[in-house]
Amino acid sequence: PVALFAALWATVALEVVGVVLALALVRPWGRRFPPRLPLLGGKKVPDWTLLAPAWGAGTLLAGHGGLFVGFGLLAAVNGDLTSEFVWYFVFWGPWFVIGGFLFMAAGWSCLRRSPQRRIGIAVSALGAFVGLVLSGTPIVLPHIV
């Protein structure tokens, strides 16, 4: 029970970070650190600190949702409409996919405004790659170990 409790609170913390990141990507206050923040107050937020997690989160969410949708479709095609995969396909997967694409759209918007586009593109690609790797890990890892 303690591990489950910790995992649920870790999920809540990640969701709060995701909300702040999404807002920082599209709101003007996300371009500068808060003035009362020691050492960084009032300074410009480097674009790469927003772009890498935005593209990573976007690809992770879209990939994860894509897995839900894919497994749900396979279960439905096999006639197993009582499978939990169908429930993930109907109720969870599409929202993960939509959220992932929205994160990537916010990252694209931030990248278009960035004065350092080459660095932004490289960091965005790295974040997207890490997100894809993490979204595919549940499928690949059992076959490696």
pLDDT, tens digit (0-9, with 9 covering 90-100), for 1-58: 788 889 889 989 999 999 999 999 888 888 888 888 888 888 988 888 899 999 999 9
Q: Where are the domains of the chain?
A: 49-135
C-beta separation of 57 from 24 below 8 A: no
**Nearest CA among 19, 47, 69 for reference residue 120:** 47
pLDDT tens track for 70-125:
888 888 888 877 767 777 788 888 999 999 999 999 999 888 888 888 888 898 89
Copy the structure tokens of residue 85. 């995969």
Contacts 24+ apart (CB under 8 A), 94-97: 94/65, 94/69, 95/65, 96/61, 96/62, 96/64, 96/65, 96/66, 96/68, 97/61, 97/62, 97/65, 97/66, 97/69
Is the pTM above the cut of 0.95?
no
